[in-house]
């Protein structure tokens, strides 16, 4: 799959989610922070985006921790996103 297709698929999965909160956060992250990630971080983000919202939300708001260090880095960035 070429880059544009991959990115568009990721965009769909970031902005057509079950909960509005996650549409907003992941959509904003994709536009602003995703382009600055290392390849390992980018892969970790794709894995996170494939999770269901009620599993992802506790990881973002800090009520659960990810055991994976790269994933934890990406989650910290995700938690720093502000919608305003």
- State in angstroms the smallest separation of the CB of 15 from another protein: 5
- State in angstroms the smallest separation of the CB of 64 from another protein: 13
Q: Which is nearer to another protein, 30 or 40 (CB)?
A: 30
Interface with another protein (CB under 8 A): 4-5, 8-9, 11-13, 15-25, 27, 52-54, 61-62, 79, 81-84
- State in angstroms the smallest separation of the CB of 75 from another protein: 13
Please state, in angstroms and rounded to a whole number, the distance separating the CA atoms of residues 73 and 82: 17
Burial 22-57 (b: 16+ CB within 10 A, else e): beebbbbbbeebbeebeeebeebbbebbeeeeeebb
């Amino acid at each position: 799959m070429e880059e544009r297709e991959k990115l568009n698929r990721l965009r769909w999965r970031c902005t057509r989610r079950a909960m509005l909160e996650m549409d907003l956060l992941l959509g904003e992250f994709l536009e602003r922070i995703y382009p600055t990630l290392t390849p390992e971080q980018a892969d970790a983000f794709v894995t996170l985006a494939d999770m269901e919202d009620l599993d992802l939300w506790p990881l973002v708001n800090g009520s659960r921790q990810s055991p994976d260090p790269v994933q934890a880095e990406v989650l910290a960035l995700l938690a720093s996103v502000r919608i305003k």
